[in-house]
Amino acid sequence: QVQLVESGGGLVQAGGSLRLSCAASGSTFKINAMAWYRQAPGKQRELVARVIRGGSTNYADSGKGRFTISRDNAKNTVYLQMNSLKPEDTAVYYCNAEDAYSDYWGKGTLVTVSS
């Protein structure tokens, strides 16, 4: 089992920045990939960014050039640096981890971007 705890959400003005953190615990050695998803009110959950064990990353088009996902293996933590935030980035952001058999989710952290 893997447990995930997100932090770093909050209220920010458009154009501002936030850094989200996701601390993983439990069977972290089994994790193959970690990712950030988000869900805005009335919308489906969508992938924001993903990093695999080898370090390769991929991003949704909405965040390319503005968001950066990174990981600190020693701390079992993944980060999402979000710059140039827009009101449409407002959502609950969820951390996700995958192993060979399961997906794990955090409870989410709310990001609100005011115009």
User: Which among 64, 69, 66 has a CA at the least distance from the CA of 85?
Assistant: 66
Q: What is the pLDDT of residue 84?
A: 98
Helices (H) and strands (E) in the chain, counts: 0, 11
**pLDDT in the model for residue 53:** 86
Please say whether the dihedral angle defined by the alpha carbons of residues 81, 6, 59 and 71, taken in this order, is positive or negative. positive
* Mean pLDDT by groups of 10 residues along the chain of 115 residues: 96 98 93 96 97 93 96 93 98 96 96 97
